[in-house]
Amino acid sequence: MSSNDKVFAGSIPKIYEEHLVPLIFEAYAADLAGRLRAHPVTRLLEVAAGTGVVTRALDAALPERAGIVATDLNQAMLDQAATASSRRAIEWRQADALQLPFPDASFDAVVCQFGVMFFPDRPRAFAEARRVLKPGGVYAFSVWDRLDQNDFADVVTTALAGFFPDDPPRFLARTPYNYHDKKAIARDLAAGGFGQPAIDTVPARSRAASAEIPAIAFCQGTPLRGEIEARGAGQLATATDAATQAIAARFGRGAVEARMQAHVVVVAR
């Protein structure tokens, strides 16, 4: 993983929230929040909260007495998240998942949607999640399945490989869609001190009003943007257009719809 793969700054948080969140994150946020309803939660920690799509789903799903602490490595993402309204006072806090600034046994649940893939040392991050959980607490997180099971991301990756044949940007394949092996996930959790997890593979549909929206979402609303811009001034717009044309060629010129798939992992302390 490149060190730049974890940087969500500049205009990325706003584009991420406006385009990527409704495209691929909202459905899984509702699913993850729904799973927490079955657990007694008085205090919950969210790690890698991004712009707060899961935070908002948890705010709607959990009893009002439940406290929510939402953290992310990137302060710019938290600043974007904090602009949304909520039913309760949410504590937004910049924090590294590998070194959480909380005492042992502080939370009934720890949640992380599509952030584990970015952790440079996953067993250490899992050990930290376990450390801050109370006995009997639950750790729930989601990761993407293989790139070829997530059509928009796959088409964008292929289109950019054709646009930059000598040096294709590989952020999507390298990081967010590269932690899908269930056995590896279970091994890393065991190394972090957890027992056997329950892992559900959850298919969903990704929809947008036009082919341009997923192209902008992935090319401009993720660290893929930095990879594209590093390949030359003015390349972002033309690369985004190449991705738009590739999506339109496969899914149509009007509203577009594609498959996506993720693994949802739940394990108790």
Task: For 60-79, write each residue's pLDDT tens digit.
Answer: 999 999 999 999 999 999 99
pLDDT given for residue 233 in this prediction = 83
Query: Does 7 score more than 70 pLDDT?
Result: no
Q: Which residues pair with 133 in a beta bridge?
A: 107
What does the pLDDT look like over 127-186, one tens digit per residue? 999 999 999 999 999 999 999 999 999 999 999 999 999 999 999 999 999 999 999 999
Give the per-residue pLDDT at 243: 98
Would you state the pLDDT for residue 85?
Answer: 86
Q: Name the residue among 104, 105, 107 with its Cα closest to residue 91.
A: 107
User: pTM of the entire structure?
Assistant: 0.94
Q: Are 47 and 129 in contact (CB under 8 A)?
A: yes
* Cα–Cα distance measured from residue 252 to residue 246, given in angstroms and rounded to the nearest whole number: 10
Residues present in the chain in total: 269
pLDDT of residue 111: 98
- Average the pLDDT over each of 3-17, 150-164, 204-218, 245-259 and give the range with the smallest value: 3-17
pLDDT at 128: 98
All domains of the chain, ordered by start, with CATH? Answer: 3-268 (3.40.50.150)
**Tokens linked to 184:** 């590896």
210 has pLDDT over 90: yes
Residue 253: pLDDT over 60: yes
pLDDT tens digits, one per residue of 92-122: 999 999 999 999 999 999 999 999 999 999 9
Given pLDDT bands bounded at 50, 70 and 90, which one contains residue 3? Answer: low
Per the prediction, the chain carries an average pLDDT of: 95
CB-CB contact of 98 with 119 (8 Å): yes
In the prediction, which pLDDT does 10 show?
82
Are 221 and 15 spatial neighbours (Cβ–Cβ below 8 Å)?
Answer: yes
Going by pLDDT thresholds of 50, 70 and 90, the confidence category of residue 2 is low
